[in-house]
Amino acid sequence: MRKRFYLMVVALCFSILVACGNEGASTDEGTAENGGGDTAPIDDLFVTVASGGTSGVYYPIAGAIAQILESDLGLATSVQATGASVENVNLISNSRAELAITMADTVLQAYEGSGEFEGEEPIETLRGLASLYPNFVQIVTTEDSGIETVDDLHGKSVGVGAPNSGVELNARMVLEAHGMSYDDIEEDYLSYSEAIDQIKNGLIDAAFVTSGVPNATVIDLGTTHSAKIIPIEGQAMDYLTENYPFFSEGAIPAGSYDNEEEIPTAAITNVLLISHEIDEEVAYEITKSLFEHLDEIHASHNAATDISLETVEVGMPVPFHPGAERYFKEVGVLD
């Protein structure tokens, strides 16, 4: 009798253990089915936002993006100052950044293996989060330089941007459109701030500054000198749009600096890239968070006020990340 009682107790305990085990398994399965498993990637994600030089427009915008992701999604973030577009593409493709602001021309060349990326394997994993705002090619000099046109840069010392930056790529293309090359100038590889300091000190004559407007370093030049922006127009502008489709005709608005009239020049869209390795649900949440807090991004710089839902597709040279695409379809800005 006692033996039978013991056997019944053992069987009962075993049944309880099995039931508990099954209950735990059911809970785990239910969590996965309800999407709970998708929360882990965003909880563990550290987001590095690749920007540009600290004196440029990318840096404060990247700072606003990082702040939104921290405050809204609780992500750990870091803003990385870089040499801008080319470096940022490489950081994204080498899994050293999760987000990066770049110019569309650089992105397209990397995606196709052309231009600055000629001879390299095309980076077909590049994915867009959104188009941001237009950059304007600003060839900056002073009234005292005597430089009135791009042709006047012959024999002059010119800042062409940091090596392999988007600015430097633009400098080559603009010179090419005018039948010129680095053989016709004394090129100096300088960042925005370095170039403006060199103009102030009389060490260079002009500089390429491709950015949103107004650019802080150009404003700074205007505090000590009569700053001037050289126009890009006519046949040279036609050449750029025909040979490099990422260029479009643009104009620096009157009053951006001390200019009384708008200045015709070439424009290129800036885009925000997102790593293709990021989970679709996480990319969706990041995109949603940024566009639900656009006012904070707009407040980071005057150029950022052009960022809107209506223009997320304008000039985007690569496919959207599936997560970003899903959000934009939900809000009706993509078909």
The number of folded domains in the chain is 2
Q: Do residue 155 and residue 223 come from a single domain?
A: yes
Q: Do 240 and 293 belong to one domain?
A: no
Per-residue model confidence (pLDDT) at position 42: 78
State whether 140 and 262 are in the same domain: yes
Phi and psi of 248, rounded to 5°? -140, 160
How much is the pLDDT for 205?
98
Q: Verify that 274 and 238 share a domain, yes or no.
A: no
Same domain, 290 and 308: yes
Does one domain contain both 140 and 224?
A: yes
Report the pLDDT value the prediction gives residue 32, as an integer from 0 to 100.
31
pLDDT value for 25: 36
pLDDT tens column, 244-289: 878 889 999 999 998 999 999 999 999 999 999 999 999 999 999 9
Last residue of a domain, one of 217, 248, 268: 268
- Is 10 a domain residue? no
Task: Decide which of 268, 291, 320 is a domain's last residue.
Answer: 268
Each residue's pLDDT tens digit, 161-189: 988 788 898 999 999 999 999 999 999 99
Tell me, what CATH number does 124's domain have?
3.40.190.10
Task: Please state the φ and ψ torsions of residue 70, each to the nearest 5 degrees.
Answer: -70, -50
Q: Which domain holds residue 223?
A: 135-268
Residues 128 and 160 in one domain: no
pLDDT of residue 72: 97
Q: Write down the H helix ranges in 49-191.
A: 58-73, 85-93, 104-112, 166-177
pTM of the full structure:
0.72
CA atoms within 13 A on the CB side of 110: 27
| Within a domain: 225 | yes
Q: What is the pLDDT of residue 41?
A: 62
Kindly state whether residues 120 and 142 are assigned to the same domain.
Answer: no
pLDDT of residue 8: 44
Q: For the chain, which residues score pLDDT lower than 70?
A: 1-41
Task: Give the integer Cα–Cα distance in Å for 34 and 99.
Answer: 28
Tell me which of 242, 268, 294 is where a domain ends.
Answer: 268
Beta bridge partners of 103: 270
Vertex 316 angle, CA 312 and 322, to 5°: 75
Is beta strand 206-211 parallel, antiparallel or unpaired with respect to 128-142? antiparallel
Residue 199 neighbours by CB distance under 10 Å: 26
> What per-residue confidence (pLDDT) applies to 43?
74
